[in-house]
Amino acid sequence: QVQLVESGGGLVQAGDSLTLSCTASGRTFSNYAMAWFRQAPGKEREFVAAIRRSGTNPYYSDSVKGRFTMSRDNAKNTVTLQMNSLKPEDTAVYYCAADSRIILSSLRDSIHWDYWGQGTQVTVSS
């Protein structure tokens, strides 16, 4: 089992920045690919970003590419999501996910990720 705890959400204004963190425990963190998803009210859970076990070459959705940066620190069992130039449409609950067997073709689909955090709310006002 892997336990994931997100933090860093809050209420910000459009154009502001916010950094989310996800801390993992329970298993060897470096064995897991990690991802961020988000879910707005009335919408399906949406892929945001994912990162390899090594931390190289993160993947991003088109909607956040160029504004969000995902990174990981395997020594601290932590991934972060630096969010810049936030927009009202970024408002959602943000979830951290982990999986040890995810493949490239599946990483954007939430059903393929095994472990999830409880989520942290991000609200961007206009």
**Digit-coded pLDDT (tens) for 35-87:** 999 999 999 999 999 999 998 899 999 999 999 999 999 999 999 999 999 99
pLDDT(4) > 90? yes
d(CA 22, CA 71): 11
pLDDT band at 94 (very low <50, low <70, confident <90, very high): very high
Whole-number percent of the chain with pLDDT over 70? 100
Q: Terminus-to-terminus CA distance in the chain, angstroms?
A: 40
- Going from the C-alpha of 56 to that of each of 15, 33, 46, the distances in angstroms are 27, 11, 22
Average the pLDDT over 3-15 and give the result.
Answer: 97
Mean pLDDT of the chain: 96
pLDDT(27) > 90? no
Residue in the structure block whose two tokens are 């860093």: 8
